Each structure stands twice: as structure tokens, then as C-alpha cells.
Chains A and B, each alone.
Chain A
Amino acid sequence: MTPTKTYIRDSVSLTAITTDKFKTGMISLSLSLPLSQRLTAYNMLLSGVLRRGTEKFPSMALLNKRLDELYASAIEIKNARFGKNEMLVFSAEILDNAFIDGSTDVLDGTLEIISQMLLHPLKDADAFPQNIFEREKSNVTDAVKAEINNPKAYAANRCAELLHKDDPDFPTLEELLKTISETDAKTLYEYYLRLLASTELRFFYVGSESSESVSKIIKERFSEFNGSLTLPNPIKAEVFTELKTVTEDMPVSQGKLSIAFRTGVTAKDKEYFAAALFNEIFGGSPSSKLFMNVREKLGLCYYCSSSYDTYLGNITVSSGINVSDKDAALGEILRQLEDIKQGIISDAELTAAKKSIAHWYRQIYDYPFELFAFYGTRSLFGIEASPEEYGKRFDAVTRDEIIKVARGVTLDTVYFLRGTLAKTNGETEDCDE
């Protein structure tokens, strides 16, 4: 299960893990660029337009039919952010040859479609076709606006906006919608050409084929590609400037608390392992302090958990509570942080956190997409280790090192989505039906 990295050309590489462990392997293609204000909007529009048809499969129906013939090899195109970089990722599940009829080559067929989508999308002279572009513009606008359909995600996104408010490279929801509305079919096509010229193609494969045979297919299917190496923005912790507190009303029954902290520690730092353990003990699992106290002891919520953005060094806590319990919940969350700063970490908490993280890294080997997530991002920043080796590095971390990280944690943002369908005593009214 050790990956082999091959440079097919200067700007085209393949990382392959050859294994017969899976009936369904995966192939992905990532294109990454440093984050900038308009990049997210462009990538969103582009991922819509590219799936609408290609020279060889000139409609979405034909494209989807072909994918069905390739044993439901659905190709997803997604945008993913890593620190201050954004990737456009094409990925597909690949049913292994052992389980299909001999006449179909799923891997080659899927790579053909990805290459068609990326290199030969439907286009007019120097723009994407107007009708396709307009349809996708409206789909992407709808998708961005649909964020309010999920109050938990909405609160988390508003909190993240506040967290990045001094950094123009992170667009706010409003800026994102503005860029989408200002973009036309020609601007997007120009961006697409720029993207192809200024990025490299990184393929990742998990399956039973050898690295050589996958390389051979890629070499043929992507022979026309001429990109260049682009260095990613380095990993750098965001720093605390001022405490931000925002409360917003929404006609829902539950309040959503989203709180962000700066740790100053990222995956590149030697304190990283202690910081990840800190997060685990604080709110990363059902045996964490937040779960055991805010939920189990005080009964204030159903969920209260923390997550650690290892590329920017931020920890975000989210919880759904009665509106009237906001102060109690916030107070308890901060009290638990204070406890850790004071050194209150039991042996049981430390052991559970280490075992939980060790388990996490061991189970990566069972999931092709987790292997991709692990190797595909870490290698970009020069972190070369297997999940197993990486998981073992948490063992040596001491309680004092975790406490030291905790003492550097600063409260940065408190965002509260106040549900206005809630009465002041915490009872809810029925939704309008």
C-alpha cells in the first residue's frame, strides 16, 4: 500500500497505490491554484460547465449514458480549499476488471471522459456556449444561495467569513454571488485557458493496475496538455487580530452557536501533533470535554463538537442550542478550554485521544478516497509520511505539550444564529405549515 509517484511529463504526475484490496478503486485529477478573490466563483462555474458535454459526447445525456456503461463510474467535479489554495478535483470510482465483463475498460473509459471534459469541453469560438453558461450560472447561484437551507452550515460559513474578514482572498457569500453575476461566458473561457496554462495535472489512483499501465493511459489521453508548475501558497497559520462577535436572527427554532479560535499551529509545525490532540480532547469525539459536559452533564445540546483546520490553524466549535441557553453554552465551552489551559487533562482523556487518532490513521487504508485525501494534500506541502507513520507520531506527545498549545489558543469569533421561532423560555412554536 505504498504509493509510487511518477512524472509522466514535467507538469503531469501520477501517484498510484497498486492493491487488489478493493472491488472499486478510484482515479482523481487535481488542478490547484493559489486562492484569490475571484477563483472560487470561477471554479464553481467551470465545474458546472465542464460536465455539460464534450466534443465526443456532445450532450449531458450522452455523457451520463457513457458513464453508466462504465459501470456507474460517476465523475464528480469539486472545489476544495487547502489553506490558501483551491483545487478543482475530478474524481471517479472505478469498478475493478475482475467484476465486469471483459469488453469494458472502465479505467481507460473514465480517463477518456475526464480528458474530454478538461481538454475538449463544448465551446464556441472563444467562449463557452451561451445557453450552457447561463444555465450553469443560474445553477451555481442557486447552489450558493441554498446555503440558508441548512442553518448549521450557514452558521459555520458566517463564522468562517468573520474569521477571514481581513483577508481579501477569501470571498464572502456576497462577493461570491457578485463575481458569479459579473462573469460572462467569455471571461470564464479565458479563465479556463489561463488555468490550463498555469497549473499542473496531479493524478491519484488506487486499484489493481500497475503504476506503469495507468501512466500509459494518462500519457495517451492527456498528450495535448501543456501546463506548468505552480507553487502552492505555503501553509501559514492565520493570526488573531481582534475579537469578533456577531448575532443574526433567522426564523428557525434552534439557535446555532459557531465559535472560532486561533491556535497559531498548522500541519507544518512541530507542535501540530499536540494541537491535534488538544482538539480531540477539547471537542473532537464523544468522549471529549465538550460532549461530556455541554451535552451529557448539562444537557444543553444534541451536538457540540470542534474541528481543526490544520492548514490555517483554526479550531471551530459548533453547537445547536435553545436560544435562551446561549450564555450558558458559551460559558461552558470557554470553561472547558480554560480547564485544559490549567492542565486539567485526565489520563483517561489523554489515552482516549491518542487511541482515537491512531485509529483514524489506521482506518485510512480501508478507503481509497481517504488515501487520496491523505496523500493528495499532504504531499503538496512536502509532508512525506504514510498514514501509519504519521499516526505513530502522536504517541510521544506529552500532557505538557498539549497544555502549552492550549495556552496559545485565542478566542477569535463568536457567531450566534438566533432562532426567532423560539420563545424566550426556550419552548418552540410550531413551524408555519
Chain B
Amino acid sequence: MITNDIKLYENTALREKYYKYSHPCGLDIYVFPKKLSSSYAILAAHYGSIDNVLQKAGNTVTVPDGIAHFLEHKLFANEDGTDAFEHFSAIGADANAYTSFNKTAYLFNCTDNFDDSLKILIDFVTHPYFTKESVERERGIIAQEIKMYDDSPAEACYYGMLEGLYEKHAIRRNICGSVESIEEITPELLYECYRVFYNLSNMALIVCGDLSPERIIAIADEMLPREKSEAHAVRVRETALESPAAFMPRVSKKMKVSKPIFNIGIKDVDIPEDPLQRQRKDAAMSILNEMLFSRAGTLYNELFESGLISPEASYCYTINESFAFNSLAGESDSPEEVLAKTCEYLHSITADDLSEEDFERGKRVMYAEFVKEFDSTDSIANNMLSFIFDGADILGYSDIISDVTLDDVKQLFKDSFKDEYFTLCAVYPLDGQEQ
């Protein structure tokens, strides 16, 4: 039975649909029916590492870097001394969680006992319990996680690029924080962040599997309050403060690497406020990237044939309500030369050189990559989450791709690659390191 409260979203060409229901407690619930062996659920807060400023009694308070991630770790602990992982594994569900720049997601995947697993998920995420002792122990575990990432040249290079692009935006700081910043985290601060950002109106529940909306709503009714809480998230973000130019044109580090690795960042502060326009820009830029940087393209093949880059070079455009940038990553004996050749190539062509044929090819690749995401409950649920927190409808994206015109792409080409937008972060081998 589909009531008026349940809204249906459908894409007939893709043969997919999902339901959205806004629970009286404020939580938006999304049910994506999919007949597969495994089911997947995510309960997520629209709260990530960049949300480190709180509004408190009219004042803004900055909390320690890495607190969203710390909270993610600690939420698994229950008041009775058990751990949510134990409850999941007792019924065969595989649980996990992750924190990104703008979201914290708690999830499980199971092939049996879905209802009970969902109850465990809702229960532990809605019942925080932090003690001094458990926070202390977690500090040691997270310090090891931070050190693990500190030792990763690829991570260092990616963050170095973000440090180069942004002057103030919190994205330039590590999602996990630092060994020093997590020292300042206390149970009280964790409770405070939880109260602000984990109110149900700032969260979403997404389930994907052989499931019906009625079944999920019944569980939500059993587990969740009937009314909205008074608290609500006030996001204080710093996009407006950023200038269009990259903060620093170069960032370089030295670590144990066999040869230099690099990330070229291209800053983009032209972020449409309207989610649909943002999606359009995302699709158009991704098509443009295919035309300019793909393995079928001139630039990649020139860099590759001349031995300047390793085969695994990659490119990616990222955009959401708070930040946008392009990044090109790879390994090279001379990252400076890769940057020079890339800029030279971008200067050497004009918008009119962008061909209809390459445009159609780029579109086809984007379409294929999109369709491929609909084969497993985990990729569907995780992708849906990104779309939902960006205010968009995942099933509308194939039309957005097909509506992009060559003129859109040409305009983006003209606007997006000014020299001052670029930063290059390279991680070089340590002095005296044998190569």
C-alpha cells in the first residue's frame, strides 16, 4: 500500500525506482527495492569533518579537528558495555562506518536478519554513550589510524593539494584530525556535537534490498520518536571566504616514495546554489574531463608516450554545496613538467577545438559509469546518500547527463582552467634515498 506520505521516484529507462517517506521524527527514509541476495542500510548524519564550528547561544565555537570522525568511532559503544559490532555479528550482519568531509555514515550489509540488523543500527546511532575511560582508549586507537594515514604518501599528496587550493576552508584539514587535535576531545564535546548534528532532521536512512517501504516504516515507528526534537543543526561553513585563486601554487613534501607522486588541483569556487544546477555542472565538467584527460585523449597519450607519467594517472571532479575542485593525480619523475605540459595543452586548444565526437564519447562514458552503479545494494545506497545530502535525486542524473550540450562544455572549458586556479602538490623521495 503506497500512501500519500510515501513519494515514488522512478526512472523507467533505467528500470529503477525508490520511495521517500518523511517520518514524523524528522528523519527522511529512502527505500530502494532491489532483488539481490544482500540488503544494505545506511543511517547517516549530514555532518562531516568540515563542520567544526558550532553555533552556541549566539556565538560560534570551534571544536577540535577530527571530532566528527572520533564521534563515529565512539558511537558503536553502548551503555551496557557492549559494542554494536558484537550485536551485528551475532546475527551475521557485516557493519561498518565512515566519515567524510561532509557526512558520517553508519551501515550494515546482510543476507539474513535484516529487520533485527536495522533495529540495532537505529538503536546504537540514536543512543550515544561516552565515558572518560572509553574516550581515552579510543584516542590511542585513532592516533594509530592517523599515523597510518600520515605514512601514506598518496594521502599526504591529496591533502597537500587541498592545502594548496584552500586558505581557510576546513577541507584543508585531515578528516581524522591530528594526534594533537584529538587530545582536546572530551566526552562533553562529543555530546555537544552529537546534540547539534545528530538530530534526526539532519540525518537520512537509506535501505536497499528486497524490501518494501511499509516494512521499513514499521521498524522506524517502533524505534524512533513520534515528534521532532527541538535541536537543529546550524551549519557554519566557510565557502564564501575563499578567493577563486589557489591559496598556494606549490606544495611539496618529502617522504619515502620510489619516485615523485603528484596531485594537480584546480580550484572552482563557482558553485551553483541550486542542487539541480550543481548536478548539471557536475555532469558537464565530468564530460569535459573525459574529453581532455582520458586515456583515449591527446594529453594522456603524449605524457605517457614520452615517459613523463606512469600508466595509472587519474582525474576526478568533485562538487557539492561547500567545495568544488578538479584533481589530476599520478607518478612522475618531474611533476613540474607534467603541470607545464598540462597547462600548455589547455592553452593550445580553444573551446572550438572540442569536437562533437569527443563530446559524445565523454557522454557515453559518463552514462555507462552511472548505470554501472545500480548493480549492488552497497553502491546504490552509498551513491544515493551522496545525492540526498546534495539535495538531488539519483534517478534524475541520467537525464542530466543526456541534457548536457556541447555548448555547456565549451563554456566550462573557457571558465575553469585559469592559471591562478592551479596548485601542484608533489611528494618527492627523501634526501639521499636510493632511487
Contacts and interface: CB of A to CB of B under 8 A. Distances in A.
Interface of A: 21-24, 48, 59-61, 64-65, 67-69, 71-73, 93, 95, 98-99, 135, 138-139, 142-143, 145-152, 250-254, 285-287, 295-296, 299-303, 320-322, 348, 351-352, 355-356, 358-359, 362-363, 365-368, 419, 428, 431-433
B79 interface: no
A359 B364 contact: no
Contact of A432 (B89, B112, B367, B430): B430
B272 interface: no
Contacts of A367: 376
B331 A431 contact: no
Contacts of B179: 428
Interface string B78-99: 0000010110011111110000
B368 A72 contact: yes
Given A72-B364, A359-B110, 5 more contacts: A95-B368, A138-B307, A146-B258, A149-B257, A151-B152
Given A139-B310, A299-B141, A359-B92, A71 B296 contact: no
B144 interface: yes
Nearest to B150: A253
A178 B76 CA distance: 49
B257 A301 contact: no
Contact of A431 (B92, B150, B361): B150
A24 B379 CA distance: 13
B90 A142 contact: no
B371 A24 contact: yes
A60 B151 CA distance: 34
B83 to A, nearest CB: 7
Given A254-B147, A362-B111, A99 B371 contact: yes
A285 B85 CA distance: 10
Interface in B281-333: 290, 294-298, 301, 304-305, 307, 310-311, 331
A419 B144 CA distance: 13
Contact of B152 (A150, A303, A365): A150
Interface of B: 13-15, 35-38, 83, 85-86, 89-95, 109-112, 137-138, 140-142, 144-145, 147-148, 150-154, 156, 179, 253-259, 261, 290, 294-298, 301, 304-305, 307, 310-311, 331, 361, 364-365, 367-369, 371-372, 374-377, 430
A299 B138 contact: yes
Given A22-B375, A299-B137, A432-B430, A356 B89 contact: yes
Contacts of B377: 366
A206 B156 CA distance: 39
Contacts of A142: 258-259, 310, 331
Contact of A301 (B14, B144, B253, B301): B144
Contact of B142 (A146, A302, A419): A302
B259 A254 contact: no
29 contacts: A21-B35, A24-B372, A60-B295, A60-B301, A64-B294, A69-B361, A69-B364, A71-B367, A72-B372, A73-B368, A95-B368, A95-B372, A150-B154, A151-B152, A251-B430, A285-B89, A299-B137, A302-B144, A320-B148, A322-B147, A358-B111, A359-B93, A363-B109, A367-B376, A419-B151, A428-B147, A431-B254, A432-B254, A432-B255
Contacts of A355: 89-92, 112
Nearest to B15: A98
B112 A359 contact: yes
A351 B90 contact: yes
Contacts of B253: 431-433
Contacts of A148: 256-258
* Residues of B contacting A: mostly: mixed
Contacts of B290: 68
Contacts of A68: 290, 294, 296, 361, 364-365
Nearest to B109: A363
A428 B298 CA distance: 45
- Per CB-CB distance, the 8 closest pairs between chain A and chain B, nearest first, are A355-B92, A287-B89, A71-B368, A302-B145, A299-B140, A64-B296, A362-B111, A145-B258
Contact of A65 (B93, B112, B254, B361): B361
A68 B255 CA distance: 36
Nearest to B365: A72
Given A68-B365, A149-B153, A359-B112, A303 B295 contact: no
Given A59-B301, A143-B310, A419-B151, A362 B258 contact: no
A275 to B, nearest CB: 20
Nearest to A428: B147
Contacts of A145: 258-259
Contacts of B304: 60
Contact of B256 (A69, A251, A303, A320): A251
Contacts of B86: 287, 348, 352
A152 B37 contact: no
Contacts of A296: 83, 141
Contacts of B111: 358-359, 362-363
A295 B141 contact: yes
Contacts of A99: 13-14, 371
A428 B151 CA distance: 11
Given A21-B36, A254-B150, A431-B253, A352 B294 contact: no
A361 to B, nearest CB: 9
B232 to A, nearest CB: 33
B403 to A, nearest CB: 17
A138 B141 CA distance: 40
B294 to A, nearest CB: 7
A24 B94 contact: no
B180 to A, nearest CB: 10
Contacts of B110: 359
A352 B93 CA distance: 9
